[in-house]
Structure 1
Amino acid sequence: MFFGMLFLPESPRFLIHQKRHLDAYKVWKRIRGIEDRESREEFYVMSASVISEENAVAEGAKNHRFPWMDFFTEPRARRALVYANIMILLGQLTGVNAIMYYMSVLMNQIGFDKKESNYMSLVGGGSLLLGTIPAIFLMERFGRRFWAITMLPGFFIGLVLIGVSYQFDVKTQLQTVEGLYLSGLIIYMGFFGSYACLTWVVPSEVYPTYLRSYGMTTSDALLFLASFVVTYNFSAMQNAMGRTGLALGFYGGIAFIGEIYQIFFMPETKNKTLEEIDVVFSRPTMDIVRENWAGVKETTRLLLTGHWHKVFVEQAMTDPKDQVQVSHA
């Protein structure tokens, strides 16, 4: 990373902020190209957007207003804050870090001895690692919305298997318990590995650029706070709810609620410029909900009529700029 960063140019946005417009144009030409009209227009729109943001910040400073107050007073910034942080919470409140930290204890609960429990803890971590690989190659092709809506049901299925495994007697049905639990754990961790990439990608692209540092600080703090709360209360929640109640009832319930939220409220930001994302979050929330619901009905119709190719293959090949957004359920 160090040697790569030596050759990393400053971003065109930063250079425009520094009044180095010619340098910004040269960097844009290098990384984006200027051969086609669209890329040139994109540069000019970006330049105008940066200047507009600078004027807004200067006006706020003139009125002695703190920039982070825009999260409460500006609908576009508020929508981004709510959306990004709900995505953060959906990942953490399904219990992944608590399960990772207590992995050896959980393995011991299903019949493994102390030494075996330590080794079997690698199953969860390995599944989590392997789960990130599909996201690296496919998330950008299919889009954030499609990816999120597809991954969360995997959480739920894994948590169902884990919860069901606790209903069998470990003394008399050890193989059944271990088979169900390990299968559920592998599915849960694998799907979470793919989903977890979204919790870093989404916040980084939805905040207005002049508020990005404030927004990312908020999202990062919330992520680690939620991780602490879930992990700290894991034992107490397991004792109060029971093992099935915690895994299937609470964590599974969060996954189910999250799926509903994403189906209706999550916009697609695949292949969109920062200026286009600004337009998305400047729209009323109900406009996004109506658009998503129309997409859900269309996708359901395609699935029921057997047009799977249009749902999955064409989704990976189509640029959202060239079509009406199709939502997936």
Structure 2
Amino acid sequence: MLIIGHLLLGVGVGYANQSVPVYLSEMAPAKLRGLLNIGFQMAITIGNLVANLVNYGTNQIKGGYGWRLSLGLAGVPAIIMTIGSLLLPDTPNSLIERGHREKAKTMLQKIRGTNAVDEEFQDLVEASEASMRVQHPWRNILQPKYRPQLIMAICIPMFQQFTGINVIMFYAPVLFKTLGFGDEASLMSAVITGSVNVLCTFVSMFTVNRFGRRVLFIQAGIQMLISQVLIGILLGIKFGVVGVGSMPKSWADVILILICLYVAAFAWSWGPLGWLVPSEIFPLEIRSAGQAITVSVNMLFTFLIAQLFVTMLCHMKFGLFFFFAAFVIMMTIFIYLFLPETNNVPIEEMTQVWKKHWFWGKYIPDEDVINHVQLAQGKVVV
């Protein structure tokens, strides 16, 4: 029953991760896209915190049935999500693709709060017409002109997992117990890190449009690197290569603080931006395929990290934190060199951003940019 339940849960989570970021990116105006899309990650962090609180509470129940209550309560958000999805309107992009242009324009006017949407609506129509000429999005996403988006769809979700965040969030109670916290104290420590995750995701919501994606990625990368290196050093001093030793409470508290600093950095960078950036960079004709790749890669590496963590911890011990720190260095350099700033750029104009990039520009044909500009100016009729 547990295996079947996990399989069904996986299907549901996969569908949600595929559809929600794209839905939010299509509904939000460009200047608010970052803020609203990070609401997706905010919901995840709140869910993680509530789950930790539920686990902490049900662990106090005598009789051995607390875990059943913990699993059963997971049905509550599922019910809310199901009912809520029935009340959501279709995005203007979706309505246009299905031939309901008048409904799409009405919806666009409604969500923008103004009737002056002709220019944006025309961009959506032209993007839809271009996408309809693409018969095989999975084949077309392999074309050189989509190379930047394809690389980002693979690297960003992969790097998100190799920050090591799931080691902390999935195995926090086990990790804290290993560091010397008791059973209840380890669960409470997991609640603390979950709370930090929620609070700092709020930070991301209100800074992502002000400072941009790249600044948050790079600053958080430096903060996560320092935290992980210091944690690795402290664990190495106390436990050594044999992994045996004791840790004073003061040291354990310092490590808890460093873990909270690490979680904070992730919460305002790779956590929300790992979903936001891929959802906003794909042109309409390959958007569904691109988001599917993003979600699949994310879930694949989530699975791999979850399966390998205990074995890696047993063999690498404190070196595990240096392992993830090395990836943080790589991903921060990757962002600095290869990700252009996408803040305040309408989705339909993202091609021009890639064309101006020092590396990706060679993959974008000049005619793609020229045609888009002419279409936007009404000089070309599709």
TM-score range, shorter chain: 0.7 to 0.9
The higher relative CO (CA closer than 8 Å, separation ≥ 6) is in 2
Whether the aligned pair in 2 keeps the contact of 1:76 and 1:281 (CA below 8 Å) is no
Deviation, 1:161, is 2.5
Aligned residue number for residue 181 of structure 1: 255
Aligned residue number for residue 49 of structure 1: 127
Alignment partner for residue 69 of structure 1, among 139, 154, 157? 139
Deviation, 1:235, is 2.1
Show structure 1 runs of 5+ residues with no match.
Answer: 61-65, 290-329
Aligned residue number for residue 303 of structure 2: 228
Alignment partner for residue 154 of structure 1, among 210, 217, 223? 223
SS of alignment partner, residue 359 of structure 2: helix
Instruction: Output one character per residue of 1:270-328: Cα deviation in whole Å (capped at 9) or x when no partner.
Output: 11112111333356661569xxxxxxxxxxxxxxxxxxxxxxxxxxxxxxxxxxxxxxx
Whether the aligned pair in 1 keeps the contact of 2:158 and 2:301 (CA below 8 Å) is yes
Q: Distance in 2 between matches of 1:238 and 1:101?
A: 14
Whether the aligned pair in 2 keeps the contact of 1:84 and 1:206 (CA below 8 Å) is no
Paired residue total = 275
Q: TM-score, normalised by structure 2?
A: 0.65
Aligned residue number for residue 106 of structure 2: 26
Deviation, 1:176, is 4.3
SS of alignment partner, residue 238 of structure 2: coil
Structure 1 residues 275 and 172 mapped into 2: Cα distance closer, same or farther (>3 Å)?
Answer: closer
Q: Distance in 1 between matches of 2:90 and 2:154?
A: 28
Q: Distance in 2 between matches of 1:13 and 1:67?
A: 16
Deviation, 1:11, is 2.4
Q: Distance in 1 between matches of 2:361 and 2:328?
A: 21
Deviation, 1:206, is 1.4
Aligned residue number for residue 242 of structure 1: 317
Q: Distance in 1 between matches of 2:83 and 2:137?
A: 35
Whether the aligned pair in 2 keeps the contact of 1:90 and 1:258 (CA below 8 Å) is yes
Instruction: Output one character per residue of 1:47-78: Cα deviation in whole Å (capped at 9) or x when no partner.
Output: 22211221x22xx3xxxxx3201122x22323
Q: TM-score, normalised by structure 1?
A: 0.75
Aligned residue number for residue 209 of structure 1: 284
Deviation, 1:146, is 2.0
Whether the aligned pair in 2 keeps the contact of 1:84 and 1:219 (CA below 8 Å) is yes
SS of alignment partner, residue 105 of structure 2: helix
Whether the aligned pair in 1 keeps the contact of 2:150 and 2:290 (CA below 8 Å) is yes
Give percent identity, aligned residues only: 28
Deviation, 1:19, is 2.7
Deviation, 1:258, is 0.8
Matches within 5 A, 1:1-329: 8-32=88-112, 33-35=114-116, 39-54=117-132, 56-57=133-134, 60=135, 66-72=136-142, 74-169=143-238, 174-195=248-269, 196-243=271-318, 245-247=319-321, 249-281=322-354, 286=359
Deviation, 1:96, is 1.1
Structure 1 residues 116 and 69 mapped into 2: Cα distance closer, same or farther (>3 Å)?
Answer: same
Aligned residue number for residue 376 of structure 2: none
RMSD, matched Cα: 2.5
Instruction: Output one character per residue of 1:200-233: Cα deviation in whole Å (capped at 9) or x when no partner.
Output: 1112111222322222222112111101111211
Q: Distance in 1 between matches of 2:156 and 2:358?
A: 16
Whether the aligned pair in 2 keeps the contact of 1:98 and 1:231 (CA below 8 Å) is yes
Whether the aligned pair in 2 keeps the contact of 1:132 and 1:197 (CA below 8 Å) is yes
Tell me which amino acid in the other structure corresponds to 2:334: Y
Q: Distance in 2 between matches of 1:232 and 1:93?
A: 13
Whether the aligned pair in 2 keeps the contact of 1:107 and 1:117 (CA below 8 Å) is yes
Q: Distance in 1 between matches of 2:361 and 2:287?
A: 22
Show structure 2 runs of 5+ residues with no match.
Answer: 1-80, 240-244, 363-382
Q: Distance in 2 between matches of 1:271 and 1:2?
A: 32
Tell me which amino acid in the other structure corresponds to 1:18: R
Structure 1 residues 109 and 278 mapped into 2: Cα distance closer, same or farther (>3 Å)?
Answer: same
Instruction: Output one character per residue of 1:69-124: Cα deviation in whole Å (capped at 9) or x when no partner.
Output: 1122x223232121132111121012111222221221122222333223222222
Whether the aligned pair in 1 keeps the contact of 2:153 and 2:293 (CA below 8 Å) is no
